[in-house]
Structure 1
């Protein structure tokens, strides 16, 4: 019977009801030690007998073993791995040691976990319980939380219990239930149920001191019940509730025979719960199975078949903490000698490390091998821990520094920036080797991007590259690639120049991938002085990336960006489309938000507003789910620039613009978007203010140079043609270098005083080619000009073409402008609701699913690409069909082909 938890039980039980109804739900139950988290989910599990129960628990001694928690939960369903997409199945098999091979991305295991749970839920609703989640190994926790945040239309409930502790738990985005102490009446009922013979004064004091903590009430009541002086005298309590509970367990342990306490220490130090392993290790210490008897009788441990477990995790903690140092060393040594075979290699290494009494190179080497195995499985947090412990056991300073820098790199990859910085700094101080110092500095640089600023990243990356530009030029180019791009985000042209100078000194083989990257970045550094001479190398890099001569993900992202800077929009966007597909196929989730950023911009520049919105939304969703806070800000900047929802853009803008001092290039994109929204709405003065800030700011030589025609239009509409010419010379030079001259002709038409405007508008239209959005903007301006010249028939034709294009593209506010101009001609074009474009009726995720379905992908293939479950994909299509007026999948291709 669960006393005093009716309200919490009802709330947590709602997760089960949702799962039974076909809707997923995830929840975290938090509270102090002994507050009743496990009891609550035990009751919930008992209530879920109609569901498939997938259950596991974190074990403190196994936090260094990657995927140990997930293995406990999902290994029983290994026979279902074949139902997963190939990359996901391979990743899970590798993580569980069922196959060799490397996991390409630590988040891929999360996608595989989500898909497997969805597969299991096809049979009946699933309840996934993770108790003591604060002690799950980081790799398992990341996978489970990823799945929890991306559950959709699946009959799956996920519940985590977390003990309040100093270490923060990544609970953002999930529902939270906090367990507080029982109220006085419920606490009294609990005490009476376990110790009915207590006198009133003793019971009242117990109620006062236990703070409503159920475990404290039970254990202390039982302890008092068994004392001869239970009717009087001081209670064995004091301090915090958790301390009082532990004291009760210490009293119980103190009453055990010495041999029993030592055998319990073996159980506490072992992570397998395998009774055979425990007894074999115990035998080497002169102990036997009979020594477990007193602990079992006292219910300190529970034997279940071939397993032995502590009744409560705190008993394990108290057992280990109370042991002397030499006892722990002896027990870990015994376990290391017992755990033979390759399957126990990692556990054996950690037991040997725990038994070491000083530096030991053989143990350090064994831990280093364990770190490499963890890296192959994608357990980056475990890699960091193993390398750091190996460093502490190293016998020479250079070996220690090398292992520490490996630990720092793994900590950074695992999303632990503070640990990465600490380890990198320590490594650099231990050695005089330039390569190790350079790598340590590079790690600090990458941490600085998020923690300090992109400029700080660039400065440190330059510092590291300078150390090895002669000795290891290829690695130096990698660091300088980071430096240039971080400096770009910071709008720090001086740092770009410094990086370019070092790139010129890096002697990499001519024609190599690194040489092509260096050439493209050197060309980028020329842009502030003009585009002449810069366009060809930037396009060459983009072409090399497209043909496979440059194959690094970051290098290809930058190649795509440089292609956009060189106005090679279609080729650059095709490159980024292919890269996004490849990254998805490989399961490299960590890279995907970075790829989707320039892809969204490329689609936007091509006028594919739906596609841009889809890419930005996909990137935002994934970046938020895997904790990429800076990339969330960057993608929100792109979202503000989208023209699909001006109100949403304006609501997002304050949040992103506050980062303008740190990342002016990205936030300028948001300012450009605000300027365009104002321009479309007829607020020319406000538009001019936004666009002037963009065109005069540090990002004016980047993609933002394309804001100049919009600035010119805003200035003319605001009655300031003098200001319209301010930035045109730089734009005209860039346009001449890139052959992107259509908008130059449009600007000349806007600024023309006479009939030659007609010629410039016609020239612009002839140069737009297949850029439907740019052409529609020009037709709108041309139609307005023709109407003012009373050339009504021609004006009507241009404005009607513009309106049709804007409606088709989903540019609603520009469509309203065109409609207003036609009404001024006396026409009454049919008013269209804001969601008249069928695709505009879809949510961003529905739009992603519809686009992929229209391309012929199955639900399973779409799920693998978007890291959703197939059932959720089907749900999105079910919701989308009536919104867009289709009944069959084949109709989607026709609908989406218009964008």
Structure 2
């Protein structure tokens, strides 16, 4: 009754799914507002669609993947159709195999692929009621799938009750349910309680405020117990009070057995009756509750008619009765299959510290960790800590809980637990780990500088006792200090690294030496490149295996101008992360990879990596990484309008993350330079080259600064930052850009020789060569060497067009027009890859490499159907009809 607007909206979702378009929505509202009723209507309207249903249960919210298991375990026979890593992760999460689950987001990718596989038979609708009570691992997986649905015939609908806990609906449509309008509410009351007098009915309508459950329950109550002429309605206008009154009218034994039902979420009648028998209760004690319409018996299951009845039953019970019930359930839940539930019931029955129960919960945490349920690991360790009998045991378990909370993406909880452990413990190792966790949270929540300061504090405690862990912390400190542009923190990191004494042949030795060398570079000390190259080499060969250390090794490779080798390393790391399902690492790797591609002049490849990283980072809530990737996107130069639109978000974080802001400023300056706004470019580039982030790959901005200064008529400023760049170029044997700078600043005909030398030194770096050709062509034009100028400018224009550097291509066209040319088109204008979106380009590249749609989907965390949709759209854009043509097209491009 009523809800026409909402029903139409949801019917549209089903129509979209039937026509091959996905959709997801969160229905929010207070208890009793009609969310479950809408789901029942959707289920009825689904007809021949495949229907998958799930529901959150409060007492199950700490059992890792419990909700997802109930929804998907019937389709275990389809797991073999998933990519190997995804299938293994899902089996591990459901306890079907003993292998590790891997990255917590891999289960989300597996869920997405499985739903897509099931939807291949017929359109699918997935309904999840009371999603606020789903265990975090299941919720993360389902929301990941919902956010990455594409060209799939799937509708996903979640209902969420207000006032329970915040629901992460980011990126999803939200349908908010308000109360029924008065006319519809009046009809509903009349249908359930036609005998109510008009005054009582109107009072009921006022107090129920359009809540359907309140209208029904209170109407029924008022028919049997009329209201007084004045004063509030006998139930206080709250449906919970009505349920409370009805429960109070039941026999004591019935209420006690209902408490067993409320405390156990299995809904298994056998378990309920066995626990009841341990408390002296029998099957007949359920009958009054069934007669009162409070519970429903369905075969071997017993369920409350509404979740509010469960809540009132449990919350109103005396504490000692809850303890008795949990103890009884723990006794009857025997066997390995119920080990986790038994441990949680034991914990609920504990009346004080209990080391045996704490140890049981540690085993629960261990099992949850093997399945990939990091949120469940955190919950189990935290409860174990509360039951610990000594402060050091409590602190140790709290640190484990904090680490698991951080891994689960719960930074506030991780900080709270780590801070408590830090205060409790007197052991340096525990305090250091707690401080390290707070440092890692601080990177996102406060600033990279705050991360570095805390990591330094933690490392100082263990630099002598646990050198390898100290190096891990100091790696975090050094790189966060680099992001913050904080010279003093870099210097402190170097000082502590120099105190580390690693065992002979330790894997972290090249990391330590490389980071010390990198840190010394910030002080302008020479002789650092060999140690940095050794670190990079160790990352290339796998001698350094830790992901963050390999990633930093890739960055170091870019810094010492081994751009191609570093980019190849980062390509392999991205492929490994996809293959292993290490989705949480991928946005960081894609950031470095995009920068590497930019430095090589592969602007389209950089665009594809950035777009993929932005999509993933946004979907999994990595806000700081979204900002970092936007900084790279601004630097891409392929779309000036998009770059300028993204820049404010990045520049707003300049105070806490100057490296991202400097990268964005560099990008904006290049757009200015291409547009002929040399003064604006010079101002931006001067800030970049003299700012706190002037080290690292941003040293490459110096030649652009020199060009901007010369174009702005300020050759005196062009030499401002050249000494630092000359030192870097000499140390890295990277002299092409330096030679271009010398050409810009040369007098007379000597400039031409420098330009020609620079073009030889550029080798296969098409972008750098095109920039030099543009400058050389302009110089030749000014010298009235028109034919030579036309050749260089035409080559520059065509190269820029092929690379997607549209602003620079236009600049070259303008220079040709000065020579009197009016070209109708250039070679680059016919490049078909320009017509693809970044994601289409990524899919086409992988298809050209010989990967199937299913393999591409596994790499990009999309559904196979969405991959097919991208190829379907890409083929006519690039003029191919068969997959085998893609390899030739990509190779030619």
Within 2, Cα distance between the matches of 1:340 and 1:392? 24
Q: Is the 8 A contact 2:436 2:458 kept in 1?
A: yes
1:67-114 residue CA offsets vs partner (Å, 9 max, x unmatched): 111011111111110000001001110111111121111110000000
1:220-619 residue pairs with structure 2 within 5 A? 220-227=218-225, 234-238=232-236, 244-530=238-524, 532-619=526-613
1:716-771 residue CA offsets vs partner (Å, 9 max, x unmatched): 00100001110011101100100110011100100112110011111111111111
Which residue of the other structure, out of 805, 822, 838, is the alignment partner of 1:811?
A: 805
Within 2, Cα distance between the matches of 1:528 and 1:402? 38
Within 2, Cα distance between the matches of 1:738 and 1:228? 90
Alignment correspondent of 1:658:
652
Alignment correspondent of 1:123:
121
Segments of structure 1 that go 5 or more residues without pairing to the other structure are none
SS at match of 2:403: helix
Q: Is the 8 A contact 2:802 2:828 kept in 1?
A: no
Q: Is the 8 A contact 1:583 1:589 kept in 2?
A: yes
Within 1, Cα distance between the matches of 2:93 and 2:663? 41
1:200-219 residue CA offsets vs partner (Å, 9 max, x unmatched): 11111111101110011111
Within 2, Cα distance between the matches of 1:505 and 1:898? 53
Within 2, Cα distance between the matches of 1:838 and 1:523? 45
Within 1, Cα distance between the matches of 2:525 and 2:735? 14
Q: Is the 8 A contact 1:128 1:156 kept in 2?
A: yes
Shift of residue 540, structure 1, vs aligned partner: 1.1
1:838 pairs with 2:832: yes
Within 1, Cα distance between the matches of 2:639 and 2:229? 72
Alignment correspondent of 1:90:
88
In structure 2, the CA distance between the partners of 1:228 and 1:678, relative to structure 1 (3 Å rule), is: closer
Within 2, Cα distance between the matches of 1:399 and 1:207? 56
Within 2, Cα distance between the matches of 1:833 and 1:346? 66
Aligned length in residues: 893
In structure 2, the CA distance between the partners of 1:624 and 1:811, relative to structure 1 (3 Å rule), is: same
Q: Is the 8 A contact 1:434 1:467 kept in 2?
A: yes
Within 2, Cα distance between the matches of 1:784 and 1:307? 83
Taking structure 1 as the reference length, the TM-score comes to: 0.98
Which residue of the other structure, out of 726, 736, 749, is the alignment partner of 1:755?
A: 749
Within 1, Cα distance between the matches of 2:304 and 2:826? 68
In structure 2, the CA distance between the partners of 1:511 and 1:768, relative to structure 1 (3 Å rule), is: farther
Alignment correspondent of 1:781:
775
Within 2, Cα distance between the matches of 1:177 and 1:824? 58
Shift of residue 63, structure 1, vs aligned partner: 0.5
Shift of residue 689, structure 1, vs aligned partner: 1.1
In structure 2, the CA distance between the partners of 1:166 and 1:331, relative to structure 1 (3 Å rule), is: closer
Within 2, Cα distance between the matches of 1:229 and 1:574? 78
Within 1, Cα distance between the matches of 2:62 and 2:384? 13
1:685 pairs with 2:679: yes
SS at match of 1:466: helix
Alignment correspondent of 2:665:
671
Alignment correspondent of 1:176:
174
Shift of residue 898, structure 1, vs aligned partner: 3.9
Within 2, Cα distance between the matches of 1:604 and 1:249? 65
Q: Is the 8 A contact 2:104 2:373 kept in 1?
A: yes
Shift of residue 510, structure 1, vs aligned partner: 4.0
SS at match of 1:308: strand
Within 2, Cα distance between the matches of 1:533 and 1:311? 75
Alignment correspondent of 1:716:
710
Shift of residue 528, structure 1, vs aligned partner: 2.4
Within 2, Cα distance between the matches of 1:780 and 1:529? 36
Within 2, Cα distance between the matches of 1:885 and 1:30? 46
Which residue of the other structure, out of 61, 64, 67, is the alignment partner of 1:66?
A: 64
SS at match of 1:513: coil
Q: Is the 8 A contact 2:227 2:234 kept in 1?
A: no
Within 2, Cα distance between the matches of 1:529 and 1:896? 44
Which residue of the other structure, out of 178, 182, 185, is the alignment partner of 2:183?
A: 185
Alignment correspondent of 2:26:
28
1:155 pairs with 2:153: yes
Shift of residue 232, structure 1, vs aligned partner: 8.0
SS at match of 1:54: strand
Q: Is the 8 A contact 2:227 2:233 kept in 1?
A: no
1:351-384 residue CA offsets vs partner (Å, 9 max, x unmatched): 0000111111000000011011111111111111
Within 2, Cα distance between the matches of 1:317 and 1:251? 14
1:210-266 residue CA offsets vs partner (Å, 9 max, x unmatched): 11100111111111112266888752233xx6xx11101001101111111111111
Shift of residue 509, structure 1, vs aligned partner: 2.4
Shift of residue 337, structure 1, vs aligned partner: 0.6
Shift of residue 172, structure 1, vs aligned partner: 1.2
Q: Is the 8 A contact 2:378 2:405 kept in 1?
A: yes
1:651-670 residue CA offsets vs partner (Å, 9 max, x unmatched): 11111101001010121000
Within 2, Cα distance between the matches of 1:834 and 1:449? 42
Within 2, Cα distance between the matches of 1:595 and 1:156? 31
Within 2, Cα distance between the matches of 1:881 and 1:286? 72
Taking structure 2 as the reference length, the TM-score comes to: 0.99
Shift of residue 14, structure 1, vs aligned partner: 1.3
Within 2, Cα distance between the matches of 1:707 and 1:166? 51
Segments of structure 2 that go 5 or more residues without pairing to the other structure are none
In structure 2, the CA distance between the partners of 1:774 and 1:511, relative to structure 1 (3 Å rule), is: farther
Q: Is the 8 A contact 2:798 2:828 kept in 1?
A: no
Within 2, Cα distance between the matches of 1:234 and 1:384? 45
Q: Is the 8 A contact 2:799 2:828 kept in 1?
A: no
Within 2, Cα distance between the matches of 1:509 and 1:600? 36
Within 2, Cα distance between the matches of 1:232 and 1:417? 52
Within 2, Cα distance between the matches of 1:531 and 1:851? 42
SS at match of 1:422: helix
Alignment correspondent of 1:16:
14
SS at match of 1:333: helix
Within 2, Cα distance between the matches of 1:124 and 1:702? 53
Within 2, Cα distance between the matches of 1:509 and 1:820? 62
SS at match of 2:748: coil
In structure 2, the CA distance between the partners of 1:451 and 1:229, relative to structure 1 (3 Å rule), is: closer
Q: Is the 8 A contact 2:739 2:758 kept in 1?
A: yes
Alignment correspondent of 1:140:
138
SS at match of 2:508: helix
Q: Which range is displaced more, 276-285 or 57-66?
A: 276-285
Q: Is the 8 A contact 1:812 1:834 kept in 2?
A: no
1:772 pairs with 2:766: yes
Shift of residue 529, structure 1, vs aligned partner: 3.4
